[in-house]
Structure 1
Amino acid sequence: MHARVTLGHSDIVMRPIGLGCMTMSQSYGAADRDESIATVREAIDLGVGMLDTADVYGAADAAFGAPSKGFGHNEELIGEAVAGRRDEVVVATKFAVQISAGGDVRLVGDPAYVAQACEASLRRLRTDHIDLYYCHRQDPSVPIEETVGAMGELVTQGKVRAIGHCELPADQLRRAHATFPLSALQSEYSLWERSVEAGGVVATCRELGITLVPFSPLGRAMLTGRIDRNQVFDTTDFRSTLPRFQGENLERNIDLVEVLQKFSAEKGVTPGQVALAWLIAQPLDVVPIPGTKRASYLRENTAATRVALSVDEIAQLGALFDQAQVPGGRYPEAGRG
């Protein structure tokens, strides 16, 4: 495996790949609880660096008209899965997004709620501390300094080891970091989705010493090569709402992935492993968190840390998936996921 990395401005040291646990509770169709728990436990056995969850995971399907497992479902599952092995893994969770039974989304980031949400997550996770605590999305009605300041208090109190934020533009990232040192920024980032490069976020993370934690590093499975041209997504699958997975956009994106498949076959690895290796090879600390609920995919993803790419290959792959070549918006025009 690649050398361990230190998470931003913290004493947390981990291997440079994590496990996104959201799919065990929502967004990508049905999941088996026992299988999900077994996958988490195998991740610990394999030395996966981080388990990524959020208090809202389990409830968010309501925003897309699908059945909800309930707020806190994923945290409770992770709490059960890591029982007895809590100190062997980094646990990251998030607060700020609330979703009603009718699917209405609200962001809450006032200091009182920050403390309240943390206590609730600690209970569900069955732990006395959270390793990495993120603000999931910034509440626009609350100055970011107030939200991050309250998160910093949790570090002072010993309830949280390090803090991070999600999907901030560069200017907001600077303001947050000036309030209390951020150790991580979680944003969508992959060969297929590079807006954090164009917007200066990657450069800002590098300058400030903030670890970038890419979610959807496999392009919501597009970069694995397992999605074909005739793919039809169930209405309970989040991808059924995303422009990049529809019609002509899907066709053109698969054209790109077929080139990636040829490249990976020549190296004797999978397309997904190449996509993860490309992220890990970037010139700053990057800890991708590919999501899966199946142990077989977990093992494949973890093995990506053994894939070596040359400087020329990294550039070649980056050029193949230049954003101008990727058709379709990241989210529906009507709103974000």
Structure 2
Amino acid sequence: MPQLVGREIGPIGYGLMGLTWRAHPPSEEQSFEAMKAALAAGSNFWNGGELYGPPDANSLQLLNKYFTKYPEDADKVVLSIKGGLDKNMHPDGSPEGVKRTIENCVKLLDGKKKIDIFEYARVDKNVPIEETLKNLEQYVKAGKIGGIGLSEVSAATIERAAKVTKIAAVEVELSLWSTDILSNGVAKAAAAHNIPIVAYSPIGRGFLTGEIKKPEDIPEGDMRKTMPRFQGANFEKNLDLVKELDKVAKQKGCTSAQLAISWVKYMSSEIGVPVIPIPGATKQERVAENSKDVTLTSDDAAEIRSVLQSITISGQRYGEAGMAHAEG
């Protein structure tokens, strides 16, 4: 099994979607049921963030409540938290910014659970990454966080970061419609420094499940409404990939979501370091589906590769403002 910060984790992790980027978050009870189901399935790597949800009801507060109710689960979970954005959602990697975000995250958890990995959600282009990491390292030494991760970074940033401190993980988008890290040097740089990869949105923010058949299926207020891949002609063109992958999934006797997650896990063998997908889920039945082990053979991988080579994804991962803060 993969290891992060010296602890074993299951083959997949979970993005804490109870209170993240959702227009209509589930109830606390439903969220807890999904979290319990994740642990029962062996998925003990949980990924949340200071930026997920409103200030008075974000994922850290959800975690606080969960571990207050189930204190026995705290030591079972490897917790990764993203932060580092100011009130305008801009990265702030200054010493003051590091102090604010770490202290706020620790305060919100209120001792119920330690942050095993802390990562800046985006790189502050106005502050050298070396400075930000050196300040974060002080919190590792003080025992307030267990380790440091990177998020949405370029290969060059990974190389710079690895010279400053030990990097516990690199979180990047990786899925059957977001394969950029395989060609832009990010996966290669992570492998060169033996840094595990945490793959967010492994089912393409739900698109690869095949359950989103038209733009109207996305709720109003959902951030996907702002993403180019989910809009107009891009949406229609990208359905070609979903249809082809559905054929492969049916041949394997699994769901499209299971195929997508299994492909991300399979990338571990090709990249050379553990790749841990972190699908989001709000229902325990979805957790059960995502957690089902589907083993891909080299022939399966070759067939999927052929599909990917035959289809060009239309639209950027984020809108213009979002891409401005993404290095990859």
Give the TM-score taking structure 1 as reference length: 0.88
User: Which residue of 301, 306, 317 maps to 2:290?
Assistant: 301
Shift of 1:34: 1.9
- Distance of 1:117 and 1:335 partners within structure 2: 20
- Distance of 1:23 and 1:237 partners within structure 2: 14
2:13 is the counterpart of 1:18: yes
* Alpha-carbon spacing, 1:116–1:246, altered in 2? closer, same or farther (3 Å): closer
Q: 5+ residue gaps in structure 1?
A: 59-68
User: Which residue of 57, 79, 82 maps to 1:94?
Assistant: 82
- Distance of 2:101 and 2:261 partners within structure 1: 32
Q: CA contact under 8 A between 2:123 and 2:129: conserved in structure 1? A: yes
Residue of structure 2 in register with 1:290 after alignment:
279
Shift of 1:221: 0.5
Residue of structure 1 in register with 2:240 after alignment:
255
- Distance of 1:115 and 1:206 partners within structure 2: 30
Q: 5+ residue gaps in structure 2?
A: none
- Tell me the SS of whatever aligns to 2:277: coil
Residue of structure 1 in register with 2:58 after alignment:
73
Q: CA contact under 8 A between 2:171 and 2:198: conserved in structure 1? A: yes
Shift of 1:153: 1.6
Shift of 1:233: 2.5
Moved more, 134-143 or 40-49: 40-49
User: Which residue of 201, 209, 218 maps to 2:186?
Assistant: 201
Superimposed CA distance per residue, residues 268-317 of structure 1 (whole angstroms, 9 cap, x where no aligned partner): 111111111111111221011101111111111111xx211111211321
Moved more, 210-219 or 30-39: 30-39
User: Which residue of 103, 107, 125 maps to 2:91?
Assistant: 107
Superimposed CA distance per residue, residues 13-58 of structure 1 (whole angstroms, 9 cap, x where no aligned partner): 2112111014533335342222112211222222212111111111
2:111 is the counterpart of 1:139: no
Tell me how large the CA RMSD over aligned residues is. 1.9
Shift of 1:188: 0.8
* Alpha-carbon spacing, 1:219–1:280, altered in 2? closer, same or farther (3 Å): same
Q: CA contact under 8 A between 2:224 and 2:230: conserved in structure 1? A: yes
Shift of 1:334: 5.0
- Tell me the SS of whatever aligns to 1:98: coil
- Distance of 1:321 and 1:254 partners within structure 2: 13
- Distance of 1:223 and 1:166 partners within structure 2: 22
Q: CA contact under 8 A between 1:193 and 1:323: conserved in structure 2? A: no
Superimposed CA distance per residue, residues 185-224 of structure 1 (whole angstroms, 9 cap, x where no aligned partner): 1111111101111211011111110111011110010111
Instruction: Number of aligned residue pairs: give it.
Output: 316
* Alpha-carbon spacing, 1:320–1:28, altered in 2? closer, same or farther (3 Å): farther
Residue of structure 2 in register with 1:181 after alignment:
166
- Tell me the SS of whatever aligns to 2:12: coil
Superimposed CA distance per residue, residues 48-80 of structure 1 (whole angstroms, 9 cap, x where no aligned partner): 12111111111xxxxxxxxxx326621110121
Residue of structure 1 in register with 2:34 after alignment:
39
Moved more, 31-40 or 187-196: 31-40
Give the TM-score taking structure 2 as reference length: 0.90
Residue of structure 1 in register with 2:299 after alignment:
312
* Alpha-carbon spacing, 1:183–1:14, altered in 2? closer, same or farther (3 Å): same
- Distance of 2:57 and 2:23 partners within structure 1: 17
- Distance of 1:182 and 1:218 partners within structure 2: 26
Aligned residues: percent identity?
Answer: 30
- Tell me the SS of whatever aligns to 2:90: strand
Q: CA contact under 8 A between 1:95 and 1:117: conserved in structure 2? A: yes
- Tell me the SS of whatever aligns to 1:325: coil
Letter in 1 for 2:30: E
Shift of 1:123: 2.4
- Distance of 1:41 and 1:126 partners within structure 2: 21
- Distance of 2:182 and 2:218 partners within structure 1: 29
Letter in 1 for 2:304: L
- Distance of 1:34 and 1:40 partners within structure 2: 10
2:222 is the counterpart of 1:227: no
